[in-house]
């Protein structure tokens, strides 16, 4: 908001001009897939098997097919790199942003895990958020990573999905 305000002193004909500028902004993080996701793809066809890529046409990060039933007790050790991805969280506001993360549907961390659950970002600062997917049953699991930013009423959401698969062998 820019405005020029004019004032006059009583009894004089002298005019004083005051330039007034106001900015209204919230703390926020980037929602640009080019900044958040390191691996991207514009679209996919029916037959495509996507593995650890953000698909722009679907607006979803896809882990792709993952083996069911893997032990996730020590998931932070990086034992199964195919089950983990790092998202780049960037503060694009002129304010410090305090961000907390959760999943919209998977509140008990049945399929998805993340670390750290909270982060403080200075203006222009970026930090990595690690997200793991460990499906327990053969099925497609869709969810949203919800990023709640303190002092901002609009949470940022990123859709994610993975497909649990179990290998099967048929003998004749």
**Taking residues 67-90, what's their average pLDDT?**
88
| Residues 83 and 132: beta-carbon distance below 8 Å | yes
Report pLDDT digits (tens) over 15-70.
889 899 887 888 999 999 999 999 988 988 888 888 999 999 999 999 999 999 88
**Taking residues 153-158, what's their average pLDDT?**
94
Percentage, residues of the chain above pLDDT 70:
100
Is a pLDDT exceeding 90 seen at residue 133?
yes
Mean pLDDT of the chain: 90
- Cα–Cα dist 140/142, whole Å: 7
> Is pLDDT larger for residue 19 or for residue 72?
19
pLDDT at site 60: 94
Sequence-separated (6 or more) residues with CB below 8 Å from residue 99: 29, 89, 118, 119, 120, 121, 147, 148, 149, 150
pLDDT at site 135: 92
pLDDT at site 11: 79
pLDDT at site 33: 93
pLDDT at site 141: 94
Is a pLDDT exceeding 90 seen at residue 106?
no
Between CA 116 and CA 36, with CA 91 as vertex, the angle to 5 degrees is: 70
């Amino acid at each position: 908001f820019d405005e020029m305000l004019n004032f006059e002193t009583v009894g004089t004909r002298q005019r004083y001009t005051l330039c007034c500028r106001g900015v209204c902004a919230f703390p926020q993080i980037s929602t640009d897939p080019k900044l958040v996701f390191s691996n991207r793809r514009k679209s996919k066809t029916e037959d495509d098997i996507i593995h650890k890529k953000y698909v722009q046409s679907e607006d979803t990060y896809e882990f792709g097919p993952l083996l069911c039933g893997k032990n996730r007790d020590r998931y932070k050790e990086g034992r199964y790199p195919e089950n983990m991805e790092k998202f780049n969280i960037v503060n694009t506001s002129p304010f410090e942003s305090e961000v907390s993360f959760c999943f919209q549907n998977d509140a008990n961390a049945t399929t998805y895990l993340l670390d750290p659950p909270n982060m403080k970002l200075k203006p222009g600062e970026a930090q990595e958020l690690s997200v793991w997917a460990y499906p327990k049953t053969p099925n497609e699991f869709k969810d949203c990573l919800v990023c709640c930013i303190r002092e901002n009423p609009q949470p940022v959401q990123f859709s994610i999905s993975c497909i649990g698969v179990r290998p099967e062998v048929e003998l004749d």
